[in-house]
Chains A and B, each alone.
Chain A
Amino acid sequence: MNSRGFVLFAAALALSLGQAAAQETHSGPVSVAIGLEGQHMVVLPGDKFEAAPVGDKSKLILRVQDVFPHGNAHRYDLRYFGFVPGEYDLIQFLRTADGKTPTNLPPVRVTIHGILPEDHDGMLIEDDDSGLNLPGSYTDWLIGLGVVWLLVAWPLFFAGRSKGQALGQAEEDAGPDLAERLRPLVEQAAAGTLDTEGRARLERMIFSHWREQLGLPEQGDPAELHRQLRQHKDAGPLVRGLEDWLHRPPGTAAVDIAALLEPYRKSSLPK
């Protein structure tokens, strides 16, 4: 073989090897279901390619997982998944470094197939007609139920509330007020028959009565409230008199308790 013959033989061998390399991993179109990722290893001659940018309307997405040197070519690990069934050429989803679609390369075909049978009518859930078939729409029924609730439940609610109020009022009316609770204690004190427990209750109730009468705050300083009561022109004499009667050592204070409590024996308490 002369030198010219050797060059022709080498060129033919290189071309046949390149073709063989490009085709060795895609001897037939690979089929992958929609939404599943497919993989394809392929050796492509020339510079290194990149994946094409993905657009809103892309039917298939390709990414280059890895690239390995392969002599003067590169071995590509391509990963893809499709959105629309059909046959695609992965070469069309590659770009050269300057953003152009590669030319003069054999197609690398893959197939994306659907999950549903081809004759499927597109209904994913069968419509079950066995439910309750009521006249009117769902909205109509909701409005109707709301009206029923207003007509029935609302009056019931008000009836219960006014009944509760009436009960509370009745209980309030039935219980003795401060004057009624105070009067027997005052009577017993005037008669000198009130025991220690009763005296303590009497003093606390008198404080309570005057605190309410004078509008003194319940959350105020109790000692200060007490000082104010002791100095008040109406409450003062009674509070100080009670103190003398109840707290001084026996025999050191002469208090006419009957006269002191006389205003509290009437049906209405002094104001």
Chain B
Amino acid sequence: METIRKNLVSDVRQRVAEVVVGQDVVVERLLIALFTGGHLLLQGMPGLAKTLLVQTISKTIDLKFSRVQFTIDLLPSDILGSEVLDQRTNEFTTHLGPIFTNLLLADEINRAAPKVQSALLEAMQERKVTIGNETHVLPAPFLVIATQNPIEQSGTFELPEAQLDRFMLCHRLDYPAAGEEEEVLRRSLTLGLQKRDGGAVPKTAFDTLSDEIVATRENLVEMMAAVQEVHVSEVFQKHTVEVVRRTRRHPSIELGGSPRAGLAMIQAARARAFIHGRDYVVPEDLYALAEDVLLHRMRLRYEALAEGISGVSVLKEILSEAG
């Protein structure tokens, strides 16, 4: 098991590093989502290789992958599926939508209308979909990785708190460092052309993705089981509850973490400990994951926002308070 873990983690990191520069933390978060079956929301400016990252991960593990570009005119049936009349038999047959996959990339989730977001998030929670009178169970593992752009708010529908809570983690991607950005440019110079049908198009990083898998679905299931064995001490549970409860008591916060935040923290900490080769969680896991687990579940008061207080600073204050 230890060998498989080391191989998978290092192989995934290496495969991602071949096409994406930097972003080690987001790779770790993607693995945490994979190992726990928790859904992940990636938030970042355009051009930070969010989609490329997810596609790379999906190709390293033998998982069925679908991608849906969310737009304003998307309908729930475009994702979930619908009943279609078969004219030969004159009977309705069920056409399953792209949600019937292992890894679903919901690109720019905040561009879809609320009814589409609700349909997806309901499926995320219950892991089953009802089409017509029939209920269909989603494949296992089932994981949604959604992306959203935090700046373009025109024509978007912000996810409400109850729906954000469905995401185990919300990771905010930052711009790469100067050296990393130079490396991105250097790599792009060597991509060249892709010739086909007598013509040619410039190659992109997507064309360089290897189809060779580094882990099977069985390997992934074994690791998911191993994550469930990671020891979580009572003291760690106390720390988690204390931090979550402090988000509800803080004067700058209107809405704090839900009990689901504590559950997400424990699961994510287990997976992180596993990735770091430990069979027990430590407070560092809590500190490292607090922003991704808690920040999207917190809503600051209007007065705090008016004073220029940020959610990050409030969370750091909560984490730094003595017992």
Interface residues of chain A, those whose CB is within 8 Å of chain B, are 178, 196-197, 199-205, 207-209, 211, 218-220, 222-223, 225-227, 230, 243, 246-249
Q: Which of B231, B233, B290, B323 contacts A222 (CB 8 A)?
A: B290
Q: 8 A-B residue contacts at CB 8 Å?
A: A196-B234, A203-B323, A207-B283, A218-B320, A219-B316, A227-B284, A247-B281, A248-B233
Q: Is the interface of A mostly helix, strand, loop or mixed?
A: helix
The answer to whether A226 and B284 touch (CB under 8 A), given A196-B235, A200-B238, is: yes
Q: How far is the CB of A205 from chain B (nearest CB, A)?
A: 5
Contact A226 B313 (CB under 8 A): no
B65 within 8 A of A: no
Closest to A216 in B: B320
Select the residue from B235, B236, B320 with max chain A CB neighbours within 10 A.
Answer: B235
Q: A222-B320, A223-B287 are in contact. Are A248 and B235 (CB under 8 A)?
A: no
What residues on A are CB-neighbors of B282 within 8 Å? 243, 247
- Contact of A200 with B239 at beta-carbon distance under 8 Å, contacts A226-B284, A246-B233, A247-B282 already known: yes
Given contacts A208-B322, A222-B290, A249-B231, contact A196 B238 (CB under 8 A): yes
Nearest-neighbour CB distance to chain B for A175, whole angstroms, equals 13
Contact indicator per residue, chain B 223-249, by CB within 8 Å of chain A (1) or not (0): 000000001011110110010000000
User: A230 vs B278: C-alpha distance in the bound complex, in angstroms?
Assistant: 16
For residue A207, which residues in chain B have a CB less than 8 angstroms away from its CB?
Answer: 283, 322
Write out the residue numbers on chain A whose beta carbons fall within 8 Å of the beta carbon of B233: 246-248
Q: Closest B residue to A178 by CB, please name it.
A: B322
Nearest B residue (CB) for A202 = B323
Chain B residues, CB < 8 A from A226:
283-284, 287
Pick the residue among A200, A219, A230, A248 that contacts B323 (CB under 8 A): A200
How far does the alpha carbon of A191 sit from the alpha carbon of B120 in the complex, in Å? 54
A209 to B283, CA, bound (A): 16
| Given A196-B238, A200-B323, also A249-B279 (CB < 8 A) | yes
User: A247, B280: Cβ atoms under 8 Å?
Assistant: yes
Query: Shortest 3 CB-CB distances between A and B: which pairs?
Result: A208-B322, A204-B323, A200-B238
Question: A-facing mask of B307-323, CB < 8 A → 1, else 0?
Answer: 00000010011011111
What separation, in Å, do the CA atoms of A220 and B45 have in the docked complex?
A: 23
Residues in B whose Cβ lies below 8 Å from that of A225 = 287
- Interchain nearest-CB distance for B204 vs A (Å): 33
Is B320 a contact of A248 with CB atoms below 8 Å?
no
CA of A204 to CA of B43, assembled, Å: 31
Residues of B269-323 at the interface with A, using a CB-CB cut-off of 8 Å, are: 279-284, 287-288, 290, 313, 316-317, 319-323
Judge whether B236 and A205 touch: CB under 8 Å. no
What is the CA–CA distance of A223 and B317 in the complex, to the nearest angstrom?
A: 13
Which residue, of A205, A222, A246, has the highest number of chain B Cβ atoms within 10 A? A222
Given known pairs A200-B242, A204-B322, A211-B320, the reply for A223 and B235 (CB within 8 Å) is no
Pairwise interchain contact A218-B317, C-beta atoms closer than 8 A:
yes
Which A residues touch B283, using CB under 8 A?
203, 207, 226, 243, 247
